[in-house]
Amino acid sequence: MKVSVKVPATSANLGPGFDCLGLALPIYNTITIEETVLPGTGVEINLISEKENIDDIIFDNVPKDENSIIYKAVEMLYNSIGQEPSELKINVQSQIPITRGLGSSASVVVGGLLAANKLLGSPADTTALLSIATEVEGHPDNVAPAILGGFVLSSQEDDGSILTEKLIWPDEWDITVCIPEFELSTNISRSVLPENVPMSDAVYNAKHLAMLIQAVNTKNVKLMKNALKDKLHQPYREKLIPGMKEIIEAFRHEDGIIGTVLSGAGPSMLVISHKYDLDKIKSTVRDIWESLSIKSDIRTLKIEDKGAEIVEE
């Protein structure tokens, strides 16, 4: 038996929502898992770059054996029902660029879990799958929208349970996703964050996240413009991302630009706008990166409302 799952890309954080906000985007990975009949063949993982507008995705440094994140997730699901994974053939057809802050690892974790769950006769419900995916990823902000679609607030509570709440993104707010050609691993991007932050910075983010939720719920552009600020991660990551500061600065005083934020752990960035010339956003960002000899892929995308879905059995 063979099961394929299509999973959207995701963008986490949205400025002040560090580790708890994320939205799904219409770029997809398709994960196929097949139980092979030949015993002793172990796990076989194939990663295939599906060229879209993005350059070929290079998987040279991605583990393709039992050490891969997708296998770990699948193994945890099997173990949760007292089983060991059988001989598995896993294919990932990938459109989501890796190590760019677009949830590629969350997508393979979610796709692997949903496919394996189907192969096992669906013993785990969405809550259980979210829980395993969060354990593998370390935080729920990418896996929640990858599973549920849309714009999601998520939290791993003290008892380990995962709370999710879907929010409605105002349709008239455009999201331009700016993807530079260079990679930045989440591990490196998290390694520059301090273990402790000043109380004033924690309060700063709490109030801006509260503003953000209210702004989205009431489609309040002015409030959202004020809300998209962060002191917990972006200032520390800026030094890892050439052009980030200049891109934020270029749009800071533009009417119609709601805000510019890092996508997840970066290096991709989101420019959120309302009734603004989208070509101008693209050329501004492209020019800044080009002046630093960095190629980029920039697209305005709608939020993907559908989460991961089984496309073939």
Q: Of the two residues 190 and 280, which places its CB atom closer to ligand HSE in the complex?
A: 190
How many Å apart are CA 110 and CA 146, to the nearest integer? 7
Q: Of the two residues 139 and 208, which places its CB atom closer to ligand HSE in the complex?
A: 139
Q: Which residues bind ligand HSE (CB under 6 A)?
A: 12-13, 18-19, 139, 141-142, 186, 189-190, 233, 264-265
Q: How far is the CB of 212 from ligand HSE (least distance, A)?
A: 15
Q: How far is the CB of 138 from ligand HSE (least distance, A)?
A: 7
Q: Contact 14/228 with Cβ under 8 angstroms? A: yes
Q: Of the two residues 140 and 149, which places its CB atom closer to ligand HSE in the complex?
A: 140
Q: How far is the CB of 163 from ligand HSE (least distance, A)?
A: 16
Q: Of the two residues 134 and 189, which places its CB atom closer to ligand HSE in the complex?
A: 189
Please choose, from the candidates 54, 73, 81, the residue with its C-alpha nearest in 3D space to the C-alpha of residue 308. Answer: 73
Q: How far is the CB of 182 from ligand HSE (least distance, A)?
A: 16
Q: Of the two residues 85 and 267, which places its CB atom closer to ligand HSE in the complex?
A: 267
Q: Of the two residues 4 and 107, which places its CB atom closer to ligand HSE in the complex?
A: 107
How many Å apart are CA 148 and CA 141, to the nearest integer? 11
Q: How far is the CB of 264 from ligand HSE (least distance, A)?
A: 4
313 burial (CB, 10 Å; 0-12 / 13-18 / 19+) is exposed
Q: Of the two residues 19 and 75, which places its CB atom closer to ligand HSE in the complex?
A: 19
Residue showing tokens 């939020």: 303
Q: Specify the pairing of strand 88-94 against strand 43-49.
A: parallel
Q: How far is the CB of 13 from ligand HSE (least distance, A)?
A: 5
Q: Of the two residues 6 and 139, which places its CB atom closer to ligand HSE in the complex?
A: 139
Q: How far is the CB of 11 from ligand HSE (least distance, A)?
A: 9
| Phi, psi values for residue 32, rounded to 5° | -120, 130
Q: How far is the CB of 244 from ligand HSE (least distance, A)?
A: 14
Beta bridge partner(s), residue 29: 7, 94
Q: How far is the CB of 88 from ligand HSE (least distance, A)?
A: 25
Q: Of the two residues 85 and 103, which places its CB atom closer to ligand HSE in the complex?
A: 103
